[in-house]
Amino acid sequence: MMVLRIALGIEYEGSGYHGWQYQTHDVLTIQQNLEQALSQVACHPVRVVCAGRTDAGVHGVEQVVHFDTEVVRPMKAWVMGTNSHLPAAIRVRWSCEVPPEFHARFSAVGRCYRYFIYNHATPSAIWHRHAYWYRRPLNAELMHQAALYLLGEHDFSAFRAAGCQAKHARRCISSIQVSAQSPWVVLDVQANGFLLHMVRNIVGSLLVVGVEDQPPAWLQQVLLSLDRRQAGVTAPPQGLYFMAAQYPSHFQLPTLAHTSALFSPLLS
One of 55, 68, 155, 188 is an active-site residue; which one?
55
Alpha-carbon span 152 to 131, nearest angstrom: 27
The C-alpha atoms of residue 125 and residue 116 are separated, in whole angstroms, by 15
| Residue 54, φ and ψ in degrees, nearest 5 | -115, 155
Q: b/e string for 251-267 if b means 16 or more Cβ within 10 A?
A: eebeeeeeeeebbeeee
Measured over the CA atoms of residue 59, residue 51, residue 264 and residue 146, the dihedral's sign is positive
Catalytic site includes residue 55:
yes
Which residues form the catalytic set? 55
